[in-house]
């Protein structure tokens, strides 16, 4: 079967990584899956034209009911959909977007939610299509680059230190856009660094919002102990995680953060902002630490720094959780089963 797959494909982002992983599951079952960036589509006629290309697509899939799914409403092939965090956290609040999302869900043969909470939110806000919604957590695999240089990574990030091994690096992995709130912790962390120069904060990710990216660059230049570096290939990013002290998430809204799950899989402690999407995968003091303000973040980060037993507990529990609940093999099996329902 030949499938068209619409997703936000900004390079080295969670959305892109998720889309590539799902595509690999589909193609492993012998299908052809063509990824297309939903950000490049202007209206539904663009997708109608795509669907009629020779050879024609026999089915279609999209991540995000609104961002991607709305473009599938006019095509005459079976459709599947994957919920994104923006769907259930933001777009459902807009009446016109919600109406479109309901039409997409009605048209779809199946919908995938990453968490039970995401499914519950969808059922609360959208016309009930509960029987169509399958809960399938993201499957996680990590692979750290073998030729990675930690000193080189720090130097390229602007960190100059004589004793690299003494540094405690808090790593924030995110695309520079408002919903990720990359500036949330800057002031508090910079003040902490002034009293403890060993702690540093590195923000790593693509510049997705030009205006915000410029603001982040300017604020970072004026903040001691805080650095901004460009996105890396996934294996290099995973290697950087293995050398860092903790993974940080400061998002206003999340569906399911792949960076958090990848960090857990690698045994890296996680400090995540206490929002529903994060709380769905991070158990406070179990698999990670949840904070609700910059001040609380600093308190928890200091506690983690001083408590080796807590570090070990979070690392082991996080690895166990991802191994048990975010199986790559199970995710592959689920998507392959669902795609079979798209046969005409």
The reported pLDDT for the residue numbered 159 is 93
Contacts of 31 (CB under 8 A, 6+ apart): 1, 2, 3, 339
The pTM of the full predicted model, rounded to 2 decimals, is 0.86
Length of the chain: 344
Phi, psi (rounded to 5 degrees) for 161: -150, 135
Phi, psi (rounded to 5 degrees) for 80: -120, 160
Strand, helix or coil at 183?
Answer: coil
Whether residue 281 contacts residue 254, with contact meaning beta carbons closer than 8 Å, is answered with no
Candidates 211, 210, 248; CA nearest to 227 is 248
pLDDT value at 344 more than 70: no
The reported pLDDT for the residue numbered 12 is 66
Scanning the structure block, which residue is given the tokens 């120069």?
197
Look up residue 289 and give its two tokens.
């630490």
Q: How many CB atoms lie within 10 A of CB 323?
A: 12
Contacts of 210 (CB under 8 A, 6+ apart): none
Lowest-confidence segment of 39-53, 139-153, 170-184 by average pLDDT: 39-53
What's the rounded mean pLDDT across residues 136-162? Answer: 92
Q: How many CB atoms lie within 10 A of CB 329?
A: 10
The reported pLDDT for the residue numbered 118 is 87
> What gap in Å lies between CA 3 and CA 78, rounded to an integer?
10
pLDDT tens-place string over residues 290-330:
999 999 999 999 999 999 999 999 999 999 999 999 999 99
Whether residue 237 contacts residue 16, with contact meaning beta carbons closer than 8 Å, is answered with no
Mean residue pLDDT of the chain comes to 92
E-assigned strand segments in the chain: 2-7, 32-37, 59-63, 79-82, 110-113, 133-135, 168-173, 199-204, 226-229, 246-249, 270-273, 289-291
Q: Walk me through the domains of the chain, giving residue ranges and CATH numbers.
A: 2-139+327-340 (3.40.50.2000), 150-325 (3.40.50.2000)
The reported pLDDT for the residue numbered 185 is 98
Where is pLDDT greater, at 207 or 52?
A: 207
Where is pLDDT greater, at 34 or 92?
A: 34
Candidates 204, 195, 254; CA nearest to 230 is 204
Lowest-confidence segment of 221-230, 252-261, 264-273 by average pLDDT: 252-261
């Amino acid at each position: 079967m030949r499938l068209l797959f619409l997703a936000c494909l900004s390079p080295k982002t969670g959305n892109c990584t998720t889309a590539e992983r799902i595509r690999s599951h589909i193609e492993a079952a012998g299908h052809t899956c063509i990824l297309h960036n939903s950000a490049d589509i202007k209206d539904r006629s663009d997708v109608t034209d795509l669907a009629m290309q020779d050879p024609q697509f026999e089915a279609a899939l999209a991540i995000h009911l609104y961002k991607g799914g709305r473009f599938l409403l006019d095509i005459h092939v079976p459709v599947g959909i994957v919920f994104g965090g923006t769907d259930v956290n933001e777009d459902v609040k807009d009446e016109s977007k919600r109406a479109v999302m309901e039409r997409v869900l009605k048209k779809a043969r199946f919908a995938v939610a990453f968490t039970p909470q995401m499914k519950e939110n969808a059922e609360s806000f959208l016309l009930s299509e509960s029987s169509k919604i399958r809960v399938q957590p993201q499957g996680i695999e990590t692979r750290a680059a073998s030729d990675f240089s930690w000193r080189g990574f720090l130097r390229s990030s602007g960190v100059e230190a004589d004793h690299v091994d003494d540094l405690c690096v808090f790593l924030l992995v995110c695309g520079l856009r408002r919903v990720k709130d990359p500036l949330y912790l800057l002031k508090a962390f910079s003040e902490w660094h002034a009293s403890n120069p060993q702690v540093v904060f590195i923000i790593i990710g693509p510049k997705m919002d030009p205006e915000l990216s410029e603001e982040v660059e300017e604020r970072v230049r004026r903040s001691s102990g805080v650095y901004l570096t460009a996105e890396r290939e996934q294996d290099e990013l995973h290697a950087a995680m293995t050398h860092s002290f903790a993974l940080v998430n400061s998002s206003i809204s999340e569906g399911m953060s792949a960076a958090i799950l990848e960090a857990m899989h690698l045994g890296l402690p996680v400090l995540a902002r206490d929002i529903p999407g994060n709380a769905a995968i991070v158990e406070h003091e179990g698999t990670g630490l949840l904070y609700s303000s910059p001040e609380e973040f600093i308190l928890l980060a200091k506690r983690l720094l001083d408590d080796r037993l807590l570090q070990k507990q979070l690392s082991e529990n996080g690895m166990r959780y991802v191994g048990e609940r975010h199986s790559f093999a199970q995710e592959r099996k689920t998507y392959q089963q669902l795609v079979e329902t798209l046969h005409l």
